[in-house]
Every structure is written in C-alpha cells, then in structure tokens.
Structure 1
C-alpha cells in the first residue's frame, strides 16, 4: 500500500469542505484542508447572511410605509444608507468570525493556507511548490459568478453580490441583470431602500419556480412593485461614470450594473486535466449524487463545486457524504438525500418543497394538483399579507404528497412543513388528520390539501371561497 502524506485531502474550507472535514475526522486523524482564499464561507461572507441583513432593512421600511392599511399614520421613512450598510457589514463580519472561530478550533496543522492543483489523482501541487499526496481527495472549491460578455461593457461599474456587501453607502441607481434568487432578493431590497432599480431577465424565469401558474402570479406581483423586464433584449454601453441600458422598455442610466446571472464551479484552475476524471459540458467531474464519488476514482466532489443545488444545507449534506466516503475509501456508500427545499426571501416569499412541477412533468408522474390563493386566506388578510398562491402535488396511485411550489406569506415556514411531510412519506389524507389552529396561515395549506384530496378521489370538493373552513368545512 502506498505511503500517503494524508488519508484525506480536502480542497476548500467553505461549508462543504468543513462538513467533509468533520465527517472524515470520525474515521481518521490524517485529514487536511487546503484553501488559499478568504475564509468564512460564501454564505457568511457574500451570500445568505449579508443578503438577509439588507433584506431585513428593506422590509422594515416597507412595513412602516404600509401601516396606513390599518388606519395608522406616520411620516416618510428616511433611509440613511451609511447606517444601513454599517449594520450589514458589521453583522456580516460577526457571522464570518463565527465560521473562522470554528476553523481555528480544528486540529493545529490541519489547514494549509495555499492553493492546490492536481498533479495526478492522488497528488497535489501547492502554490508554494510543495507536493503532497492523499489516499482520497475531496473537491470543495466553491463557485463564482458567471459574467456574460454583454455585461462586461459596463467596465468597473459591473458589480456582483460580493461587492454590494462592502458598500459604505447606498448608490442612487442600480440595474440588476438576472431574475434568479440573487437578482430577485437584492433587486427588491434595493428598490425598497430607495435605490432606483430595474430588474432585467432573459427567458422569463423567476427564481427557482417551474409551475406556470405560480410563475405568472409572481411575475404580476413583482412587476406591480418595481420595474421588471422578464424577457429583456438589451444593449449596454458605458458613458462616463454611468452605464446606459437600452431595452424594449426604453433607455435608462445607472450608477452600477449588478450581475446576478448565475454561478460556475471553481474547478477550471485546479489541474483536472492531470487526472483521469471525466468532465461534463461545464467542466465539472461527473459524479454519483448519492455517494459524491467522481466515476470510479478516489476523488469526491461536494458543494458548489458540484454546481447541482447551490444551497448551504445541500453543500453541508454533500460534504458529509463525501467526507465519510473519502475517509472510508475504498469503501464507498450511497446515502439517501433529504427532501429538496428551496426558499427565496423576496416579498412575497417563494419556495419549492419536494418535487417541482417541471420534475413531475419530465418524469411523467401520474400526479394531480391542489391549489389555494392567499388573497382571501383569513390570517393573511388580517395581517395585510394576502398575496400569493400555493400549488401542491399529489401522487394519484398512492395519495402521497410529492411536492409544492408557492409564492406567499410565511413561505419559508410552509415549505418546511411540506418538506417534512414529504420526508415522512405522509399521504394527503394523513396530513389532513393533523391539527390546524385557527386563525393561522397554515390553514391555507390545509385548504390546498383539501382540494388535492378531492382531486385524488379521497374526499369532497371544498368550497372555493371560505375563511379557512374549519374541520367540518
């Protein structure tokens, strides 16, 4: 047996890498993480946490300006951009500090602060020139923003979400390109904080949504609040310190152009050409999603490097599986993945739990749909949050709940309930036997489930309009 420097080498100290390290250490002490870039994880530095800090400020202002609905009056809510961004940066740095504290708690010598490239399947060349070897290697090098050539015309006025969270003040105007999660969240937040914002998309997509009915509802909602062009045909030019955007909506000038057009895996500069790995069209190693093993090699892939589902909890799960299998190699085990869950912190919030509409159609599943509108949902209307639609999908042969797509109030909480129910393999009739308090937003889920139950042939058709009909309704 070869005499390796380490049993497991992990490229990247982000969420997936840290998770892989913790899992691998359960089986061997000979584990090393290698990362020459900034520590602190994408989520804490430039993703989940700082974006939610900006959104929280935007929502606070929006709620204050909407109190007239309740017969209350107040003056205009002024935005101090410097103070807004001071809090964003301070809290962001605090979250990053927590992550760095965790890394410092790892065994001394288990983190190498250099970059690494593959020399072969089991050898890594460090940026210092040192060569190390490992019995198995985990690629957890994360991802970076995609930059379409068209947007490069903006020059140094082209920014990414990474740049937003280092602002010391809010600009006067921003063009946001991309209607995915990042574009929706930051575009709406900046608009609500008084930044003149225009959101530009290409193919009509809205976040992760795939259900046409939910997409259409969401498109109307967002377009009613701030300028959005879901299918923009644009031309961009630089004029002094401004960016000029010409589209079918007209011509506008902006201080910055924010690119939120997707992300690509950081695997193009780690020497994959020196390995035996097969790569897909994106240059990512082909791998088994249940073991995270790349082909039949001793190399594993996890997190945004896999560029499958770029979400923190998925990266952590993938890191755990990759770390275990790398440490136990040559034994490699396939592990069941958890029920998919995706949330967009826009307003109304967007979520998908379980199988999406597009997946069910693609796989030719025999499914039916239940639906509820939040516009007349009791608790939502009481709070003035009555915007949204929920569509739930059920398996006709078994009655199992398969998935849901929604836009609406408390979508982050409803999506968890739905995902947990799917994970527990509950049928729609079993879910309807669970307790629902009154009045709560969750009663809207019950209404959708009742419609789904009828479509499955298990119960009567509920009334189209009711205030969250009680147990006998």
Structure 2
C-alpha cells in the first residue's frame, strides 16, 4: 500500500475539483487530485455541451420547417436523420471532453491518483486498494448524480437519465419525460423538434426555475403549444413489457391516462455524490441526509479542514459557480486555518429553450411583498422580435422601491441568454433603474424590450410617490 503525505487532497477532478487543485498550488501548497471515474467534467461529458449540441440540431430542424411565413418555401419534407444527429452530438462531445482530458493529463503525474477515495478518519483517505493519503486539508468536489425514484428504477434500461441520452445511436420514436425542470424542458423541446413524440410530466406546476406566477403561466403555455406538457401530473404506475414502458398517470385536469413509450427520461433532480466517502469514519457533523454541515460562505465543514465545492454541496449546480467555489475551497484549504469568505457573483441562470428562459438576481419568490415594483414587457409586439417571427415572451424586472436599484428579473423571451448577461452585470454594479435607462440602446434590437420593462418600472416608482 502506497502512502502519500500532502497539504491538500482534492477529491474529484471536475468543474470544481480542477480549480480547487490549481488554487491550492497557486497558494503554495502541495496538492493531490483524486478521481474515481474517467477524466472529463459532467459539463463536457453529459451536461452543458452535449445538450447544446442536441439543441443546435433541433434549432436547425425548426428553422428549416419555419420559413414559409417569410415567403421562403422549402419544397418537400424536412428529413431528420437521427443517426446523423447523434453522430455529430457524440463526435463534438468527445472533442470537448478531449480538451478537458488533455488539461488534466497536463498536471504532473505525481499530483494525480486514480481511484475512489474514502475517509479512514479526519485526515486519512484510502484511494482504491492501493494508496493511503494523509492530508492536512481536504476538498470534497465529487459532483452530483441524477436521482431516479424506485418506481422508475424498476424499469431497467428503459428508464434513462440525461447521461444516457448522449449515448444513443439513434433517436427514439416516443418518450415520456419525468420532471419539468431545466434539464427536462431543454431536452424535451429539443427532442420534440427533432421529431420525437414527447410527453412531459411535471409534478407541482413547475416550469423550469421560474417562480414569478405570470411568467411561469406564460412559459407553460409556450411549452404546451409545442409538446404534450402536463405540469401537474401524478404518475400512479410504471410497468415494462419487453422494450415498451406503460405509464398510468392522472393529468392536470384529473383525467386518468394510460400510454406507452420507448423510454422514460427521468429528470427528477440530482443528488450530491457522498455515498462512497465513508463520512461516518470522520468527526464531521452530518445532517439528516448524510451531508456534512458546512458554511456556504467559506465552504468549510464546521471547524474542520474540510471544504465542499461545486455540485457536491447542492447549492448552485452551475458550472461557473462550481469553478468559483472550487477556487475558493482550494485557496482556503491551502491557507487553513486562515479561511476567507467566497465572494459570489451576481446570480444568473439560463434555460436554453426557444424562447429562452432566464433569471437574474433575486427570484420573485424571495422578494418581500410591497418592497419592489415589477416592470413588464411583452415581446409579442416588440419590434425586432416580430421582424424575426420570434415574438413570444414576457419579462418582469424587479426594482427596489427604497433604493431604486435593480434587484432581479425573471422572463421568457428571445435572446434571453444574452440579455441575462447585461442584467447580471448591471446587478453586480449595483445600478439603479435610472442608471440603466441612461445606457445606450441601439435600434432595432431585442434589448429595446428590456428598456420598455425598465421604463415601466420607473413609471411605477413615480406613481408610488
């Protein structure tokens, strides 16, 4: 059994673990990167990048079938070759993964260990059956995995998660998607546009991350127009017959529905990967779910030299947040006990649908009633959006009554991913609605819709006084 003594052991070589390792080294500490699975982040292998490749194919199919209103006619049927679609998705996915693997393999060999790590005690780790590691500090960056309820696990390989979609050689004929969160809606719309018969079964009226009732209702209609969307369905039974899955569910209107599918795609959330770590061998305080109790500001578990970053802590499962947390955790692990708080950037979230969904800053659900005004704009008659026939969407921007500062926004609409960045920058700069309206707006652009929402918010503030 090999023994390694190190300043910082980083468990997990993903979007949080890699920055943690580099930050620890930059702080002058010796560091070891431990990875149990293949190199290549969740984002590159089964997340951000392959999903956007599938969405890009869907957008191409949708564009090709939507030219007639412009007077441009594509004669004959639009043919979608599922095998060619998936071939490109997997080929380009492998290219992105290759970049990550090359980066990891550029790390000195003596700083890398392959194998699953578990705690022997607070400062000792065992990796596989070949290495013991004594670490002054530990960063847990083990990521997360899709959660599949028992009802669907019983379906075997006919119940899949998003990871499995990107191993397909061809597109299926018909699927049911369980869950109407970000992953479920992105993949559902993409697959529907590629000719797959898709049914989405939500549970609590959820539409992606949205909390503003008016925006959520608008988005629900958008998705209901594009595919079979049941935002409040209750699945009563799931059975398998050969390669066919039968679902019985009660629809939003109370109707009992029986239907059959090739697959059930379960997008019921993700859970932190903590099961292999043997945390019971440590003196860390654990919550009722077996998660270490930790400070979300410093990422430190109690007073211990253990730091939790990225999807492993279950707070903000976004790549840029994971990278920021990884850097902070690695730096704090190297400098322990002199830890520093993580300074988070303005919150930003994007759902890559069409029209896009985005949220910046405070959610509607988190704002105190009466403390803000909501400036609104509909994109249905917004000039540039209508020119492009992309005129579907509704936006609310939230402005604090006392300070006139922009505090958040939720919306569905065209170019949401780009407008989200403008608003995140404005939020991080603590701009007031007045300062934002002083900024330049070109004509004709979709961003003029944002200006309308800001103007409406300013008018509401004026009316309050």
TM-score, normalised by the number of residues in structure 2? 0.96
Is the CA contact 1:453–1:459 (under 8 Å) kept in the aligned structure 2?
A: no
Asked whether 1:357 is paired with 2:357, we answer: no
Q: Hey, what's the Cα distance between the residues in 2 that align with 1:419 and 1:90?
A: 33
Is the CA contact 1:89–1:166 (under 8 Å) kept in the aligned structure 2?
A: yes
| Residue aligning to 1:261 | 268
| Residue aligning to 1:393 | 398
* Deviations 1:37-90, CA, capped at 9 Å, x for gaps: 121000000000000000000011001111111111113211101100000000
| Aligned partner of 1:404 among 388, 394, 409 | 409
* Deviations 1:285-305, CA, capped at 9 Å, x for gaps: 122222111111100000010
Asked whether 1:298 is paired with 2:308, we answer: no
For residues 171-186 of structure 1, the aligned pairs below 5 Å read 171-186=172-187
Q: Hey, what's the Cα distance between the residues in 1 that align with 2:158 and 2:4?
A: 48
Asked whether 1:169 is paired with 2:170, we answer: yes
Deviation, structure 1 residue 153: 3.3
Partner of 1:372: helix, strand, or coil? strand
Q: Hey, what's the Cα distance between the residues in 1 that align with 2:463 and 2:39?
A: 53
Asked whether 1:287 is paired with 2:288, we answer: no
Asked whether 1:322 is paired with 2:329, we answer: yes
Q: Hey, what's the Cα distance between the residues in 1 that align with 2:151 and 2:461?
A: 48
Partner of 2:26: helix, strand, or coil? coil
For residues 24-423 of structure 1, the aligned pairs below 5 Å read 24-74=24-74, 75-234=76-235, 235-249=237-251, 250-361=257-368, 366-423=371-428
Question: Structure 2, unaligned stretches of length 5 or more?
Answer: 252-256
Question: Structure 1, unaligned stretches of length 5 or more?
Answer: 461-473
Is the CA contact 1:365–1:395 (under 8 Å) kept in the aligned structure 2?
A: no
Deviation, structure 1 residue 129: 4.4
Is the CA contact 2:4–2:131 (under 8 Å) kept in the aligned structure 1?
A: no
Is the CA contact 1:4–1:135 (under 8 Å) kept in the aligned structure 2?
A: no
Partner of 1:257: helix, strand, or coil? strand
Q: Hey, what's the Cα distance between the residues in 1 that align with 2:291 and 2:412?
A: 32
Is the CA contact 2:8–2:29 (under 8 Å) kept in the aligned structure 1?
A: no
Q: What is the aligned residue count? A: 456
Partner of 1:288: helix, strand, or coil? coil
Deviation, structure 1 residue 459: 10
| Residue aligning to 1:16 | 16
Is the CA contact 1:7–1:28 (under 8 Å) kept in the aligned structure 2?
A: no
Over aligned residue pairs, what C-alpha RMSD do you find? 1.5
Deviation, structure 1 residue 131: 1.7
Q: Hey, what's the Cα distance between the residues in 2 that align with 1:282 and 1:369?
A: 38
Answer with 242-251 or 346-355: which moved more.
242-251
* Deviations 1:338-362, CA, capped at 9 Å, x for gaps: 111100001111110111111114x
| Residue aligning to 2:443 | 438
Partner of 2:69: helix, strand, or coil? helix
TM-score, normalised by the number of residues in structure 1? 0.94
